């Protein structure tokens, strides 16, 4: 039984890394039938928009997408592709797992997940200038909002994820000591939802600045972190940095009707077309996608192959300090799948 899924190659290194991942998924027998759609710069040339209607229609139909990185044209007046997708499909949860794959770094055996609320908070971009003194733009004013309903929904998502993935603890990360209402509502709802999972998943609370420090001094204490939009954006990049950077960081944007899986990094125009891009972040995103459709067995086979190639064979792409190219790494992964 094939599962229809939208595939967006993307810009820059996108075509190279998606080709690698699609080849590995085919060898694995992953049950996806790809609907290839345009996105990014290529789509602007063809359709006049970075996320054209046929692509949106495809995702609406399949509810499932693997997306390569898209170059955001600067100053061309297009709305950010990621923001468009979040709004269009109500992708309220951003899921960012972090796992040590490359041994010998400063942080071995890290295995944690950041769940970020993706729609509300301070990224609602309700901001404008106000006059101050003689300067009509002397003051920047910004506001944010967190709804009780959305706070409850994202915390519930985090706890359900913990239960489904055998994780033991959820940490509510906030700044309710200062933002008593804006962040306080998240903490209130978090505590309320946590009670429903008593005895199944433990709950902890951390103030965001303390959490940032502990993520560097003792990241092993964390399991699942759930937090609001701005804090989650920053902390999830911090955690990617713990384990080898952008080339190793997958992410998913998930809503009630659609889920979009991608690498966290961009289109890396500086190395595009050179055959040296690291496809592992996108491959890990594909692994998350398999788990999402209930094929944890195939996801585990991908994760095991990655571990084998990186830990045992010692293969390293340029971003990991090695010399191996995309094609050679792909061959090693195909061999490791058995």
Q: Which residues are catalytic?
A: 123, 175, 209, 233
Q: Which is nearer to ligand NAI, 184 or 266 (CB)?
A: 266
Q: Does 262 bind ligand NAI (CB under 6 A)?
A: yes
CB 169 within 8 Å of CB 113 = no
SS3 98: strand
Binding pattern for the stretch 217-256 against Mg ion, x by CB under 5 A and - elsewhere: ----------------x-----------------------
# chain residues binding ligand NAI, by CB under 6 A: 19
- Told to check if 37 binds ligand NAI by CB under 6 A, we report no
Contacts to ligand NAI from residues 212-251, by CB under 6 A: 246-247
- The binder of 233, among Mg ion, ligand NAI, none, by C-beta within 5 to 8 A per type, is Mg ion
Binding mask 315-334 for ligand NAI (x = CB under 6 A): ----x---------------
Q: Are strands 202-207 and 169-174 parallel, antiparallel or unpaired?
A: parallel
Which pair of structure tokens corresponds to residue 207? Answer: 């103030």
Contact between 50 and ligand NAI per CB under 6 A: no
Assess 266 for contact with ligand NAI (CB under 6 A). Answer: yes
Measured between alpha carbons, how far apart are the two ends of the chain, in Å? 23
CB-based contact 127:141 (threshold 8 Å): yes
Query: 70 contacts which partner out of ligand NAI, Mg ion, none, CB within 5 to 8 A by kind?
Result: ligand NAI
The only residue of 277, 288, 299, 310 in contact with ligand NAI, by rule CB under 6 A: 277
Contact criterion met (CB below 8 Å) for 8 and 66:
yes
Which residue's CB is nearer to ligand NAI, number 199 or number 321? 321
Helix (H, G, I), strand (E, B) or coil at 287: helix
CB of 232 to Mg ion, least distance (A): 9
- Closer CB to Mg ion, 139 or 216, in the complex: 216
- Does residue 11 interact with Mg ion by CB under 5 A? no
Per the listing, tokens 């995702």 go with 59
Let me know how many helices (H) and strands (E) the chain has, helices first: 11, 12
The smaller minimum CB distance to Mg ion, of residues 47 and 123, is found at: 123
The number of residues that bind Mg ion (CB under 5 A) is 1
According to the 3-state scheme, what is the secondary structure of 12-74? Answer: CCHHHHHHHHHHHHHHHCCCEEEEEECCCHHHHHHHCCCCCHHHHHHHHHHCEEEECCCCCCC
| Shortest separation between residue 17's beta carbon and ligand NAI, angstroms | 6
CB of 264 to ligand NAI, least distance (A): 7
86 binds ligand NAI (CB under 6 A): no
Check if the beta carbon of residue 175 is closer than 8 Å to that of residue 207.
yes
Contact 326, 68 (CB under 8 A): no
By the rule CB under 6 A, 265 interacts with ligand NAI: yes
Ramachandran category for residue 325: left, alpha or beta (phi over 0 → left; psi -120 to 50 → alpha):
beta
- The angle that helices 148-164 and 184-196 make with each other, rounded to 10 degrees, is 40
Q: How far is the CB of 165 from ligand NAI (least distance, A)?
A: 24
Give 11 or 233: the residue with its C-beta nearer to Mg ion: 233
Pull the structure tokens for residue 228.
């609001």
Binding stretches for ligand NAI (CB under 6 A) = 13, 69-72, 246-247, 262, 265-271, 277-278, 281, 319
Instruction: List interacting residues with Mg ion (CB under 5 A).
Output: 233
């Amino acid at each position: 039984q094939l599962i229809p899924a939208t595939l967006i190659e993307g810009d820059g290194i996108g075509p190279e890394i998606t080709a690698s991942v699609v080849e590995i998924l085919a060898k694995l027998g992953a049950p996806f039938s790809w609907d290839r759609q345009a996105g990014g710069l290529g789509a602007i040339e063809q359709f006049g928009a970075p996320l054209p209607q046929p692509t949106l229609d495809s995702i609406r139909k399949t509810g499932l997408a693997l997306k390569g990185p898209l170059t955001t044209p600067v100053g061309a007046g297009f709305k950010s592709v990621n923001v468009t997708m979040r709004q269009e499909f109500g992708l309220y949860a951003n899921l960012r797992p972090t796992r040590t794959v490359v041994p010998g770094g400063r942080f071995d055996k890290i295995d944690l997940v950041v769940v970020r609320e993706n729609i509300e908070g301070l990224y609602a971009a309700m901001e404008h200038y106000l006059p101050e003194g003689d300067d009509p733009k002397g003051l920047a004013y910004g506001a944010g909002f967190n709804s009780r309903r959305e706070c409850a929904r994202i915390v519930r998502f985090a706890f359900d994820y913990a239960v489904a993935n055998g994780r033991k603890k959820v940490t509510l990360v906030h700044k309710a000591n200062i933002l008593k209402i804006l962040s306080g509502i998240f903490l209130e709802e978090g505590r309320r939802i946590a009670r429903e999972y008593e005895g199944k998943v433990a709950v902890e609370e951390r103030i965001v600045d303390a959490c940032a420090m502990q993520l560097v001094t003792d990241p092993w204490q964390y399991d699942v972190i759930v937090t609001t939009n701005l804090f989650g954006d920053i902390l999830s990049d911090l955690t990617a940095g713990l384990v080898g950077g952008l080339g190793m960081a997958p992410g998913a944007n998930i809503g009630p009707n659609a889920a979009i899986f991608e690498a966290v990094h961009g289109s890396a125009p500086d190395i595009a077309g050179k055959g040296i891009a690291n496809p592992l972040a996108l491959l890990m995103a594909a692994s998350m996608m398999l788990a999402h459709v209930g094929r944890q067995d195939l996801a585990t086979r991908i994760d095991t192959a990655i571990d084998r190639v990186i830990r045992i064979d010692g293969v390293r792409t340029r971003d990991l300090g090695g010399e191996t190219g995309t094609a050679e790494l792909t061959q090693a992964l195909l061999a490791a799948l058995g």
